[in-house]
Structure 1
């Protein structure tokens, strides 16, 4: 059976999407997006039963052990996440994310990644993580681990690495990864040198995915405003 953490996460995310869809019925939201949100919410609400059925037909373990994956590259990072009691929660998110397949579930997968980022950003805001480990996590990790590494940077700008951010902009594995890289750049603008800012701005301006993605384009525009501001000095 799916564990309690996974069930709660499915119900919370699914319930939120259903509420958003119902609100959309009365606010003039287009029919296409509305149907997608409602369908995704309903799917997540019934997801535990679906997962139980899938698992009963499989051999071996079903859950994704995300923190174990992290420990293979970044032992101290994994130990800190465990000490904060986050292992089961992150594993549950990763399990749900892995099972939600198909283009119609892209928005739901993005929502789950956003929640992973939120959790680890909150953790790095109060606990110290190793910068070299976070960098290694990004460059050696799966798509979900890469986003998690960006989440750690989002919570603690001292973890920021310009090469990680440049890679996430130029060769992101998911749109969500690119979006969170933009957020890290925006939030950590004051941590960047003039050279780093120039390289990142050039990458942002030349990237068609950013221009075509409303959420990413909005953050990119905010970065441009920071670039034009005389009140934010660089690190050199």
Structure 2
């Protein structure tokens, strides 16, 4: 019996990949070149969705274009559009309410987190997967730079039991210091669900080190040393850990 044909053809996957990369790139550029942060966020999110379909469409048996997740993403984009129109009319109260509703929808859809989960599930471990995961984290950083993130929401992701939400939060916190959560970060530095997650936690720890008080610095240094003692770090994590310790304990002289 022949295997079922994937829903997304090879030609369509190439098109979706190109559109996904283009949408994410335009969103990232818009973060720095326009004041339309909500529009930039929508581009980043939808670019990620298209990229997942483009990369993994040959492994998808069904695509629920009418399903709840895509409906929520579409509704979020529409609310962002309506918020911009409200601002132009001078109704900033309605605009802010619509943005809050859109952010809640994006959180529910979990576009970036879902992309991370799919990549880890569908791609074999190795440099190629790591490169894709790093690109996903970069999109999380871009989303944070758009200025549409609620700190408490992102902190809740970091405390989540789902690795994909935690990694999304780590990327966002790396780009926006106001989102940081030292207490939630500390256990991920010492022991995370994956090497990739621990690396991103170490990257965030280095960025936060300069703003920590003496007791927090001591606890973070202890967590890094405990992590080094538990696992034989590869080059990337070893360098990241050493960078954190250098920030916490600069050499005397």
Matched, 1:133 2:172: no
Matched, 1:79 2:102: yes
Any stretches of 5+ residues in structure 1 without a counterpart?
A: 13-43, 231-236
User: What is the TM-score of this pair, normalised by structure 2?
Assistant: 0.57
Deviations, residues 1-41 of structure 1 (Å, cap 9, x unaligned): 347699417997xxxxxxxxxxxxxxxxxxxxxxxxxxxxx
What is the distance in 1 between the residues matched to 2:14 and 2:113?
A: 9
Matched, 1:118 2:127: no
2:193 aligns with: 173
What is the distance in 1 between the residues matched to 2:235 and 2:226?
A: 16
Deviations, residues 114-140 of structure 1 (Å, cap 9, x unaligned): 222111212212305222221211222
1:219 aligns with: 240
My pick for the range that moved more, 2-11 or 123-132, is 2-11
What is the distance in 2 between the residues matched to 1:199 and 1:67?
A: 44
Matched, 1:48 2:70: no
CA contact (8 A) 1:67 1:90 kept: no
CA contact (8 A) 1:154 1:187 kept: yes
1:28 aligns with: none
Deviations, residues 191-227 of structure 1 (Å, cap 9, x unaligned): 2111111111101111146642210110111112212
How big is the shift at 1:49? Answer: 2.6
CA contact (8 A) 1:64 1:91 kept: no
Distance 1:8 1:206, change over 3 A: same
Work out the number of aligned pairs and report it: 186
Distance 1:186 1:210, change over 3 A: farther
What is the distance in 2 between the residues matched to 1:178 and 1:161?
A: 15
What is the distance in 1 between the residues matched to 2:110 and 2:184?
A: 27
Matched, 1:145 2:154: no
1:21 aligns with: none
Distance 1:201 1:95, change over 3 A: closer
CA contact (8 A) 2:145 2:175 kept: yes
- Provide the aligned C-alpha RMSD in A: 4.3
What is the distance in 2 between the residues matched to 1:133 and 1:81?
A: 9
Deviations, residues 126-156 of structure 1 (Å, cap 9, x unaligned): 3052222212112224111110011110011
CA contact (8 A) 2:117 2:164 kept: no
